[in-house]
Amino acid sequence: MRFISADSVLPLTTAKRLQFGIAIVARPGSRRYERSHGRAKRQRTPLTADERDGIILAVSSAFRKLKNLYAKIVPIFEDFGFTPPSPLGATPP
């Protein structure tokens, strides 16, 4: 695979670049380089109490729905003679 500057292959489509084995290399200082290397990070602000409570409520609701779904599918698995999946996920062999 050849590595060349993005400026010289802009007219080529992605398919053509793949066909010719061309990989685009972003130059340091370019926007593409900074996006791919994550130089400019935003400062995070802490969550407010209301935001934190909203996230907890949403997660609790999602897990409650999964629990209800699991309770509904277990009898279907058993009716067809299958062992239902574990509610805790897959276990390693």
> pLDDT for 46-55, tens place per residue?
999 999 999 9
Task: Please tell me whether the overall predicted TM-score, pTM, comes out greater than 0.85 for this model.
Answer: no
Task: Spell out the residues 6+ positions from residue 84 whose beta carbon is closer than 8 angstroms to its own.
Answer: 73, 74, 77, 78
Burial of 22 by CB count in 10 Å (0-12 exposed, 13-18 middle, 19+ buried)? middle
**pLDDT on residue 37:** 52
Residue 24 phi, psi (nearest 5): -85, 130
- What are the sequence ranges of the domains in the chain? 2-37, 47-84
Instruction: Compare 67 and 34 and report the one with higher pLDDT.
Output: 67
Say which DSSP state 30 is in. Answer: S
Using the predicted structure, report yes or no on whether residue 41 has a pLDDT greater than 70.
no
